[in-house]
């Protein structure tokens, strides 16, 4: 492989971090406006939550589209097309006269916004490898992790002065800045010679690793763990505001607290990974989350509708920070290096599809009880735990974790 002469500059890394943060910003920023949106658009909680679901489904489908396309056509052309779709769809969403138009626009937003997530990772790997690539990816992921902490609180502060349409115009501004930054800062990282070499070096046998038990099991476990998280995210505006009785700002603070808990769990997991396997850490995180989910279910069934409900909910959500990164690393380490592009796309597809389905199912339960949320969270967590266990049972020594975490 030709020696990489170009490096990932700080400006490039900041830009890629912004592109990767597009999805959490586009989902979390307008959560506090859900009750108001339902009233203004003359729809139900299910209808408003569908706008979140379709965004997630679009983001999953978009990763499968833009990942392979960027391998054939280079990185910049698909990236700019995707960001262009993201900008245009954001305009339509902000002026949508009905819930139907809003849902369709959010689906296109998801497709376009996903281009930055999947292509951004590829651009880093085009220029760096080994420990340097891992450091760059970790920095980008850390920047992305700030979005779920800041966005709900910012949205809760903006919903009164700007209204929900104003918040959607803010999302448009983020999309426009992302496109402008990509044009000004980013350059093609996959030369024509490299694309031709990859085509000529294809080995069909390398794709068989995608059918292995470790890859399938961890990929499904990752998807259902996202189902746990998105069940909580999609129902949280109604649980905190309608059931517990918080205002928008208090909701943003409560949501940020759980996001901080996830970040702390992720940092703790990174430090413990030098002593314990990724499987053990992910299993511990899932186990704690299941205990918290069961406790939340008991509280909801008992009719608890005040702040004590937040305690087991925090216990159910925060430990997911020990699960998502570790399980995704396990999945990617289980495939041939020649199949990592498709493996990453399938991982993203499963992630957003399950997240969208979980959000839709939670929405069907209405907005006056936390039971639908906790039931879907519990079912998703149990399936994730079963698949994680199955992925490792009887695995050959060569299939076991080989992730370099240094």
- Mean pLDDT over 96-122 rounds to 89
- Please report which confidence band the pLDDT of residue 357 belongs to, taking 50, 70 and 90 as the band edges: confident
**348, 47, 350, 376: which is closest to 230 by C-alpha?**
376
Low-confidence winner among 10-19, 185-194, 388-397 (lowest mean pLDDT):
388-397
Q: How far is CA 235 from the centre of its chain?
A: 16
Per-residue CA distances from 97 to 37, 105, 167, 196 (Å)? 12, 11, 16, 47
Say what the pTM is.
0.72
Fold match between 11-195 and 207-394? yes
CA pair distance 302, 222, nearest whole angstrom: 31
Question: Quick check: 122 pLDDT over 90?
Answer: no
- Please report which confidence band the pLDDT of residue 256 belongs to, taking 50, 70 and 90 as the band edges: confident
Q: What's the pLDDT at 405?
A: 37
- Quickly count: other Cβ atoms within 10 Å of residue 200's Cβ: 7
Q: How big is the chain by its Cα radius of gyration, in Å? A: 21
Q: What's the pLDDT at 85?
A: 96
Note whether 266 and 285 are within 8 A (CB): no
User: Tens of pLDDT along 20-49?
Assistant: 888 778 887 887 788 888 888 888 877 888
CA pair distance 180, 177, nearest whole angstrom: 5
CA pair distance 278, 401, nearest whole angstrom: 8
- Please report which confidence band the pLDDT of residue 155 belongs to, taking 50, 70 and 90 as the band edges: confident
Q: What's the pLDDT at 341?
A: 61
**80, 78, 388, 114: which is closest to 224 by C-alpha?**
388
Dihedral sign of CA atoms 377, 379, 380, 381 in order:
positive
Note whether 84 and 179 are within 8 A (CB): yes
Q: What's the pLDDT at 202?
A: 54
Low-confidence winner among 3-12, 168-177, 223-232, 303-312 (lowest mean pLDDT):
3-12
Q: What's the pLDDT at 397?
A: 42
- Mean pLDDT over 308-337 rounds to 81
Low-confidence winner among 90-99, 222-231, 247-256 (lowest mean pLDDT):
247-256
Low-confidence winner among 51-65, 71-85, 280-294, 384-398 (lowest mean pLDDT):
384-398
Note whether 288 and 320 are within 8 A (CB): no
Note whether 343 and 213 are within 8 A (CB): no
Question: Quick check: 403 pLDDT over 50?
Answer: no
CA pair distance 41, 37, nearest whole angstrom: 6
Question: Quick check: 226 pLDDT over 60?
Answer: yes
CA pair distance 382, 233, nearest whole angstrom: 18
| Residues counted in the chain | 406
CA pair distance 239, 233, nearest whole angstrom: 10
How do the domains of the chain map onto residue ranges? 11-195, 207-394
Q: What's the pLDDT at 109?
A: 94
Give domain 207-394's CATH number out of 1.10.10.60, 1.10.510.10, 1.20.1250.20, 3.90.1200.10. 1.20.1250.20
CATH class name, domain 11-195: mainly alpha
Question: Quick check: 175 pLDDT over 70?
Answer: yes
CA pair distance 131, 384, nearest whole angstrom: 30
Percent of the chain with pLDDT over 70: 80
Residue 234 phi/psi, 5-degree rounding, is -70, -30
Q: Print burial letters for 216-239: b (CB count within 10 Å at least 16), e (below 16).
A: bbbbbbbbbbbbbbbbbbbbbbbb
Note whether 67 and 122 are within 8 A (CB): yes
User: Tens of pLDDT along 135-148?
Assistant: 566 566 666 666 76
Question: Quick check: 271 pLDDT over 80?
Answer: no
Question: Quick check: 201 pLDDT over 70?
Answer: no
Q: Print burial letters for 248-262: b (CB count within 10 Å at least 16), e (below 16).
A: bebbbebbbebbbbb
């Amino acid at each position: 492989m030709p020696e990489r002469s170009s490096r990932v500059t700080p400006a490039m890394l900041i830009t890629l971090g912004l592109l990767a943060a597009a999805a959490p910003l586009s989902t979390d920023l307008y959560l506090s406006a859900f009750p108001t949106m339902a009233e203004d658009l003359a729809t139900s909680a299910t209808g408003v939550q569908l706008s979140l679901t379709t965004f997630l489904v679009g983001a999953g489908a978009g990763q499968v589209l833009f990942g392979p396309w960027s391998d054939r056509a280079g990185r910049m052309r698909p990236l700019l097309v995707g960001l262009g779709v993201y900008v245009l769809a954001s305009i339509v969403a902000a002026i949508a006269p009905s819930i139907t138009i809003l849902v369709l626009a959010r689906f296109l937003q998801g497709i376009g916004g996903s281009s930055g997530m999947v292509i951004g990772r590829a651009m880093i790997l085009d220029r760096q490898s080994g420990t340097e690539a891992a450091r760059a990816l970790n920095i980008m992921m850390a920047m992305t992790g700030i979005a779920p902490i800041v966005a709900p609180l910012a949205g809760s502060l903006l919903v009164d002065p700007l209204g929900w349409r104003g918040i959607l115009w803010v999302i448009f501004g983020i999309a426009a800045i992302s496109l402008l930054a990509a044009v000004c800062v980013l350059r093609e990282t996959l030369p024509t010679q490299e694309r031709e070499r990859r085509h000529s070096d294809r080995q069909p046998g390398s794709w068989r690793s995608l059918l292995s038990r470790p890859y399938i099991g961890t990929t499904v476990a990752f998807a259902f763990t996202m189902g746990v998280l998105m069940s909580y995210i999609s129902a949280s505006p109604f649980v905190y505001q309608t059931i517990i009785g918080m205002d928008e700002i208090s909701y943003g603070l409560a949501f940020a607290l759980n996001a901080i808990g996830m970040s702390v769990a992720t940092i703790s997991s990174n430090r413990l990974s030098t002593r314990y396997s990724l499987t053990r850490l992910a299993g511990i995180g899932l186990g704690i989350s299941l205990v918290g989910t069961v406790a939340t279910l008991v509280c909801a069934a008992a009719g608890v509708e005040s702040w004590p409900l937040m305690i087991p909910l925090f216990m159910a959500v925060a430990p997911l920070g020990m699960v998502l990164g570790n399980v995704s690393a396990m999945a990617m380490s289980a495939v041939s290096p020649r199949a990592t592009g498709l493996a990453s796309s399938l991982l993203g597809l499963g992630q957003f599809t399950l997240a969208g389905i979980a959000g839709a199912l939670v929405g069907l339960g209405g907005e006056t009880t936390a039971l639908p949320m906790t039931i879907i969270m519990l079912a998703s967590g149990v399936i994730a735990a079963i698949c994680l266990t199955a992925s490792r049972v009887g695995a050959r020594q060569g299939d076991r974790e080989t992730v370099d975490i240094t």
